[in-house]
């Protein structure tokens, strides 16, 4: 007996839910609620599920869809960052962290947003979501040296941005 579209979709989605959720939390960067991004992505992915050529590419299919949805949302609405601490705007679940730590995370996301999109995605996928360089190569359709270079340059740029931010705060 053949599985329904919904059953096939859930069979592929269930094992990768946590990784996809981390990706959406990180990519939303406090601009949008990550669950809204997940919801919108899953609706689009389900509608276009029949166009998926390989079940192994499902996670990357979701990442690409989420990235396009976020890009469209950002075009429609410019992010507004305030100096006020708003716990609900943080993308990570940092309930035990101190207020200072939460503010540092919010500043980190703001600085990440200043990197070019490929570099930002590379840093997020590797450092926060825990993807390997080979997986990032597939997601970004780039060579190994390009991914390593993005990571290296991205870390350096992020460090410079964070250091300049600390100087402004002091």
- Token pair 């959720």 in the structure block, residue: 21
H-assigned helices in the chain: 5-13, 17-28, 34-47, 58-76, 99-112, 117-123, 133-140, 144-169
Tens digits of residue pLDDT in 116-146: 988 988 888 888 777 889 888 988 889 999 9
Residue-level pLDDT at 88: 46
**What CATH number does residue 149 fall under?**
1.10.10.10
The total number of structural domains in the chain stands at 2
Instruction: Report how far Cα 99 is from the mean position of its chain's Cα atoms.
Output: 23
Look up the pTM and report it: 0.52
107 lies in some domain: no
Same-domain check for residues 17 and 60: yes
Q: How confident is the model at residue 166 (pLDDT cuts 50, 70, 90)?
A: low
Q: How confident is the model at residue 106 (pLDDT cuts 50, 70, 90)?
A: confident
Domain with 35, as residue range(s), is: 1-97
Nearest alpha-carbon partner for 138 in 114, 8, 146: 146
Last residue of a domain, one of 97, 127, 149: 97
42, 125 Cβ separation under 8 angstroms: no
């Amino acid at each position: 007996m053949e599985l329904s579209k919904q059953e096939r979709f859930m069979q592929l989605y269930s094992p990768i839910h946590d990784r996809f959720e981390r990706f959406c939390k990180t990519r939303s960067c406090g601009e949008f609620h990550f669950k809204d991004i997940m919801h919108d992505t899953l609706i689009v992915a389900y509608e276009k599920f029949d166009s998926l050529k390989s079940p192994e590419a499902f996670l990357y299919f979701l990442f690409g869809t989420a990235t396009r949805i976020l890009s469209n949302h950002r075009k429609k609405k410019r992010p507004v960052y305030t100096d006020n601490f708003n716990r609900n705007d943080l993308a990570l679940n940092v309930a035990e962290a101190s207020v200072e730590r939460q503010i540092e995370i919010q500043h980190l996301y703001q600085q990440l947003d200043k990197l070019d999109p490929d570099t930002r995605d590379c840093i997020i996928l590797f450092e926060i979501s825990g993807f390997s360089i080979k997986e990032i190569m597939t997601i970004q359709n780039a060579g190994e040296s390009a991914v390593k270079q993005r990571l290296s340059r991205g870390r350096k740029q992020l460090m410079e941005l964070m250091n300049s931010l600390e100087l402004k705060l002091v």
